[in-house]
Structure 1
Amino acid sequence: MSLTNKTFAETLQVQVKFKLHAYLGMIVYLIMVQIVGILMSLMGPTGMSSVSSFIDINAEMYTPTVLIFLSNLWAFYVGLLMTRHDQRADIMPFVSTRIMSSIGDVVVLVALAVYAGITAMLSNYVVRIVILLKSNKHMLSDENMFSAPEVFIENLVAFIFFILCFAAVGYFLGMIAQKSKKVLFIIVAVFFSMLFTSFGQEILLGTIKIAQFGLFSFMGVMIILSASCFIVATFLAGNLEVKG
């Protein structure tokens, strides 16, 4: 009988593969959510019309807002699901430490966010294709991955980081709930109460202004928020006890 010591990278790789298989069913829910988002985007365009003696113009604007919103909700739910006591209790026998398990969770959430961002972006193109197939529909702006690859990449990166941030917030709040539901209630209450104060609104507007400076500013804001949530959640996970 021989004992072999695996490196950190090898152990993490095994755990990530295991967790990806464990949460593979979430991909099905993502597909369902994005199909709903496509249908809602097609049913609810914003429009304007202009009528003169010689010309009748009707313009409709389709945005990926619904797709992103639903994808974010999905990511938030997945992050929350990973912190549930029964989920962690089932997975715990297959991992080495709670800290290692949390690091594996973060890697899996990043992978799922990348997948969700790519599929959300492609779903937006499905909406465009359906619009073009409609009679008497002409797209005024059609920046795609071939005509404007830099715009496509920027939007894709923004989608991924935005979705990842929601997953991180869900993971953080879920871990807080496992530690103390009273603390979770206080955090949520303070957050929403700050939205109605001048101080909280200034922070929110300042964050939005920083993100509007460009892609790198937006990425910086999302990375800081996501990393902060993951670090605190990982610290809390190290103090949790998994009971059989």
Structure 2
Amino acid sequence: MSLNSISFRSLVYSQYIYKLKSYIGLFNSLVVLQLLAILFALGGSGMSGTSGYGIRIDVNYYSADLVIIFTILWAFFSSILMTTRSYQEESYTFVTNRLSNNLSNIAVILTMSIISGSTALLSKPLMKVVLYVIGDTFFIEAETAISRMDQLSGIIATILYILLAGSIGYLIGTVAQMHRLLTIIVPVVFIGILVAFDGEGQFTSKVTAFYYQETSILLFSAKMVVTIALLCSAATLLSNRKEVRQ
């Protein structure tokens, strides 16, 4: 019997560091997806033009929206992938339990969200550099100055949206691991509930307004954090019902 003992916090931290290193392939896929999204975004999100006196002016609008959408999808599917058996069996390298395994996974998803959200927002300056190099392009910023608080709010909102997608994916992946049929039953039931109770799109519009149309960054963050905590808690509770090494 070993006389060495390890605290629960140290156990979670050890698993967290190990998983960050072993999941490097997920970050490689993030780089590929974001570069691909940047390539698509170079076409612009909108355009207008005018001509006169022998001069033609074309105006293209660029944003990082497409990169953020790709990143949200990446977080969603990566979190599902983390719940598969091949990834979960890596945890048995440590003396572990369901709780420490889930907490380390959630910490990894949080780290993934912060990193991917930051790189997604940094894609806009990269697009400017590429457009400047490949053609005769002049950049005009919006006249309305964006304050540092607005920039910080945008960063926080982007990271929280990505984290929400990751939490939903982690919950779906956990449910799917309990029984294969649940991967079909749960989406069908969810869509059925929306169709049955969403009269004229009222439920969907209310949910959208509850999150997306919130003007206060503090209230928005509180709503998102509570929702993410509920999703992660549900995934943790459901995973405790699985058999050992299932």
Question: TM-score with structure 1 length normalisation?
Answer: 0.87
Instruction: Quickly say closer, same or farther: Cα 1:92–1:202, change in 2 above 3 A.
Output: farther
Q: CA deviation at 1:182?
A: 2.5
Q: Deviations over 1:131-156 (max 9, x none)?
A: 45542423232889xx7422321111
Q: CA deviation at 1:190?
A: 3.0
Q: 2:237 corresponds to which residue?
A: 235
Q: 1:220 corresponds to which residue?
A: 222
Q: 2:142 corresponds to which residue?
A: 141
Q: CA deviation at 1:243?
A: 4.1
Q: 1:157 corresponds to which residue?
A: 156
CA distance in 2, matches of 1:14, 1:6: 10
CA contact (8 A) 1:49 1:57 kept: yes
For the pair 1:118 / 2:114, whether they are aligned, the reply is no
For the pair 1:174 / 2:176, whether they are aligned, the reply is no
Q: Deviations over 1:80-135 (max 9, x none)?
A: 11110222123224241012101110011101110101111111221233345542
Between the aligned residues of both structures, percent identity stands at 24
Q: Deviations over 1:5-60 (max 9, x none)?
A: 22222121111111111112211111111100111100243112345679865322
Q: 2:188 corresponds to which residue?
A: 189
Q: CA deviation at 1:76?
A: 1.0
CA distance in 2, matches of 1:91, 1:51: 63
Q: 1:25 corresponds to which residue?
A: 25
CA contact (8 A) 2:44 2:63 kept: no
Question: TM-score with structure 2 length normalisation?
Answer: 0.86
What is the RMSD of the two structures over their aligned residues, measured on CA atoms? 2.6
Q: CA deviation at 1:64?
A: 1.7
Q: CA deviation at 1:163?
A: 0.6
For the pair 1:96 / 2:96, whether they are aligned, the reply is yes
Q: 1:67 corresponds to which residue?
A: 67
AA matched with 1:159 = T
Q: 1:76 corresponds to which residue?
A: 76
CA distance in 2, matches of 1:69, 1:222: 18
Please state whether the residue corresponding to 2:181 is helix, strand or coil: helix
AA matched with 1:224 = V
CA contact (8 A) 1:37 1:70 kept: yes
CA contact (8 A) 2:15 2:91 kept: no
AA matched with 2:41 = S
Q: CA deviation at 1:78?
A: 1.4
AA matched with 2:155 = L
CA contact (8 A) 1:95 1:101 kept: no
For the pair 1:58 / 2:67, whether they are aligned, the reply is no
CA distance in 2, matches of 1:193, 1:131: 46
Instruction: Quickly say closer, same or farther: Cα 1:149–1:71, change in 2 above 3 A.
Output: same
Please state whether the residue corresponding to 2:122 is helix, strand or coil: helix
Please state whether the residue corresponding to 1:231 is helix, strand or coil: helix
Please state whether the residue corresponding to 1:178 is helix, strand or coil: helix
Q: Give the number of aligned pairs.
A: 242
Q: 1:42 corresponds to which residue?
A: 42
CA contact (8 A) 1:194 1:201 kept: no
Please state whether the residue corresponding to 1:4 is helix, strand or coil: coil
Instruction: Quickly say closer, same or farther: Cα 1:200–1:167, change in 2 above 3 A.
Output: farther
